[in-house]
Amino acid sequence: MPKYLFIQRSVPGESQRPSPAQMQAMFAAFNAWKEKFKDRILDMGGPLKPGGKVVTGSGTTDGPFVEAKEIVGGYMLVVAENLEAALEVARESPPTMIPGSSVEVREIRETESS
Amino acid sequence: MIEGFGSDVSRTGITGPGLVEHLFRREYGRLVAVLTRTIGVQQIERVEDAVQDAFLAALTAWTVRGLPDDPGAWLYRVAYNNLAGELRRTAGRLRILERAGDDALAERAEDPAPSYSASEVADDMLRMLFICCDDVIPPESRLVLALKTLCGFSAAEIALRLFTSEANVYKRLARARDRLRAAPFGAETPPLDTLASRLPSVHAVLYLLFNEGYLSAHAEQAIRRELCDEAIRLTTLLAEHPAGAVPETFALLALMHLHAARLEARRDGMGGLLLLEEQDRSLWDHERIRLGAEWLERAASGEVFSRFHAEAGVAAEHCFAPSFGETRWSEISNLYAMLERIDPSPLHTMNRAVAVAEWKGPKAGLAVVATLAPPAWLTDSYLWDAVLSDLHRRAGDLGIAQRHRERALASAPTDAVRDLLRRRLASSI
């Protein structure tokens, strides 16, 4: 079955912080989502720390780029029959519940030898 | 380690559908109270931001890795580290600007996360409540500040509950925080025994909080209940603490329990309001009535007879009357008369008039009303016309009754109240 990489992005400073009551509702929804799709979630991944470095052939620079409008905040690995099934997981996933946050879904190309 | 934290969480379980109601809000209030005492009341905004960020971090971390052993302690540690980092950066910035480096801030940031017992958390919550009711905070900001810091409501949620705009809530919060920012060093840790002078203000805020829920015309019962529960929770904390364990506090808590016991029965299945005589008394919460009676008994010590004593007494009379017809209206009339002496208000006189009418008949009730020089705010309210319409109808003056009925219906604040008035005043046509 194809695998998909979920890339979560958010716009820094854009979102209003949710209230404790809203966060409690979100947490309940997250757990329900995790339970519902537990067979499709291969690796929950996790949030990425800010900062980090960018390495190229010509050297190492600071990253991610401070001027970027959106920053990658986390990743996840999902297995699904097809793109539509993967999107179904994404649509109900935690990041889509956070204002100013989005999920990019990309199929991982199978290599010949696998 | 941090006993005070997490005990609620671990005992009751935070996972899945069994998530304890309002757990995040409550934990928020505890964390803000403890950290404010640690870092200083001047930093309250930073404390709130740090706590909120800790919850955001928890959302992801707990979803991915499951719950930590002690979620409360986890939240505390993360919030503390957020705050310490922020304070270190601020201290650094201040040094760069060659201003008087705030060494106290930096020093506090270096403190290891201290540990607390449950009783110390209760101390901190109460301190926060007393800070919210400090004389330096404008009166109209006190309730809002308490709802924000101790109950964990957002500005939007407060606006919804107090029937005001979000901008207004922000304005009141900003005024409160301005005053706190200017508070002298150590204002966050006043010795609790010096706080007795602030008790009347604390009582007033708790009473207001309860009434916002109990008397609110809010359509959603859950929202009203929630405010009543918050008031009872904080008042219980106060009543069980040496700093607040005085008869007035006990009477206030008794009053809240005795009213809250009848909250559900005041509504019919359709969301309409029910009159006292229409209510199914078997729906009253008898466990709560018992609690209220217990606190009222404890309140009956000492010399003081406060307005809360009188109001709790009235509520108790209703709770213990087997039926509407068997209510001891003479006792209720006397309690209202005492209330008028302690806290003169034409509203109390109106209530006494209603009780006297039940006790001695409508003409006696009207005689009580006749002693009033009612202010415009009262004569313009539906209550005034509703009471007069009812008393005149029962006294046989149908024409006067009808005029007041029309005015009452026209000034009723909500449809639910209007429906109730139509039923109550129906037979005057």
pLDDT of residue B171: 96
Choose the weakest-confidence range: B97-111, B278-292, B384-398: B97-111
Average pLDDT over residues B244-271: 89
Q: How far is CA A16 from CA B56, B171, B246, in A?
A: 12, 18, 42
β-bridge pairing A59-62 and A41-47: unpaired
| B389 residue type, one letter | S
| pLDDT score for B363 | 96
Q: How far is A95 from chain B (nearest CA, A)?
A: 9
- A19·B63 Cβ contact <8 A: no
Distance from CA of A1 to the nearest CA of B (A): 23
Residue B250 confidence (pLDDT): 97
H-helix or E-strand spanning residue B277: none
- Least reliable range by pLDDT among B20-34, B184-198, B350-364: B184-198
Q: What is the pLDDT of residue B8?
A: 39
Contacts of B154 in chain A (CB under 8 A): 18-22
For residue range B137-146, list pLDDT tens digits in order: 999 899 999 9
Q: Report the distance separating Cα B266 and Cα B263, nearest Å.
A: 5
- Chain B CB contacts of A94 below 8 Å: 59-60, 63
Confidence at A67, pLDDT banded by 50, 70, 90: low
Tokens of A103: 């999920």
A85-89, B213-217, B223-227, B286-290: lowest mean pLDDT where?
B213-217
pLDDT band at A36 (very low <50, low <70, confident <90, very high): very high
Of B17, B28, B59, the CB nearest to A30: B59
Q: Do B60 and A17 touch (CB under 8 A)?
A: no
- Domain map (residue ranges) of chain A: 3-108
**Strand-pair partners of A7:** A75, A104
| pLDDT above 50 (res B288) | yes
* The CATH homologous superfamily of the domain defined by A3-108: Dimeric alpha+beta barrel (3.30.70.1060)
Of B16, B58, B152, the CB nearest to A31: B16
Share of chain B above pLDDT 90, in %: 48
Cβ neighbours of B157 in A, within 8 Å? 19, 21
- Strands in A101-108's sheet, in edge-to-edge order, are A41-47, A71-79, A3-10, A101-108
What separation in angstroms does the CA of B234 have from each of A46, A108, B331?
A: 38, 54, 30
Answer yes or no: is the ipTM higher than 0.90.
no
Q: Which residues of B touch A (CB under 8 A)?
A: 15-17, 19, 22-25, 27-28, 52-53, 55-56, 58-65, 152-154, 156-157
Is the pLDDT reported for residue B252 higher than 60? yes
Partner-chain contact A22 B55, CB within 8 Å: no
Interface probe, candidates A6, A10, A19, chain B, greatest B C-beta count within 10 A: A19
Determine the pLDDT at residue B16. 43
Tell which wins on pLDDT, A96 or B410: B410
* DSSP code at position B267: B
pLDDT confidence tier of residue B293, bands split at 50, 70 and 90: very high
Q: pLDDT class for B261, splitting at 50, 70, 90?
A: very high
Residue range B325-356, pLDDT digits in tens: 999 999 999 999 999 999 999 989 999 999 99
- Inter-chain residue contact B56 with A20, CB threshold 8 Å: no
Q: How confident is the model at residue B312 (pLDDT cuts 50, 70, 90)?
A: very high
Residue B276, SS3 per DSSP: helix
Return mean pLDDT, chain B.
Answer: 84
Q: Is the dihedral of CA B143, B148, B152, B155 positive or negative?
A: positive
The confidence score (pLDDT) of residue B319 equals 95
Position B411 pLDDT exceeds 50: yes
Is the pLDDT at B106 greater than 70? The verdict is: no
Closest CA to B148 of B123, B174, B122, B127: B174
Of A20, A24, A94, the CB nearest to B63: A94
Give the 3-state DSSP-derived string for chain A, with helices as H, strands as E and coil as C.
CCEEEEEEEECCCCCCCCCHHHHHHHHHHHHHHHHHCCCCEEEEEEECCCCCEEEECCEEEECCCCCCCCEEEEEEEEECCCHHHHHHHHHCCHHHHCCCEEEEEEEECCCCCC
The number of helices, as runs of H, and strands, as runs of E, in chain B is 21, 0
| Most confident region among A7-16, A73-82, B83-92 by mean pLDDT | A73-82
Kind of pairing between the strands at A3-10 and A41-47 = unpaired
Q: Which DSSP string do the residues of B119-183 spell out, in sequence order?
A: HHHHHHHHHHHHHHT-TTS-HHHHHHHHHHHTS---HHHHHHHHTS-HHHHHHHHHHHHHHHHTS
Instruction: Among A10, A15, A23, pick the best mutation site for testing chain B contact (most B Cβ within 10 A).
Output: A23
Can you read off the two tokens belonging to residue B295?
């606190």
Q: How far is B102 from chain A (nearest CA, A)?
A: 27
Calculate the CA A81 to chain-centre distance.
19
The encoded tokens of residue B353 equal 């008039």
Q: Are B352 and B336 in contact (CB under 8 A)?
A: yes
Structure token pair of residue B331: 């006792």
Q: Which amino acid is at A73?
A: G
Does the pLDDT value for residue B389 go beyond 70?
A: yes
pLDDT > 60? residue B98: no
Q: A24–B25: do the CB atoms touch at under 8 Å? A: yes
Predicted pLDDT of residue B317: 96
Confidence of residue B212 (pLDDT cuts 50, 70, 90): confident
**Alpha carbon of B153: minimum distance to chain A alpha carbons (Å):** 7
B215, pLDDT greater than 60: yes
* Chain A interface test: which of B56, B78, B157 (most A C-beta within 10 Å): B56
Q: Give the distance from CA B83 to its chain's centroid.
A: 29
Asked if residue B89 lies in contact with residue B82, where contact means CB atoms within 8 angstroms, the answer is no
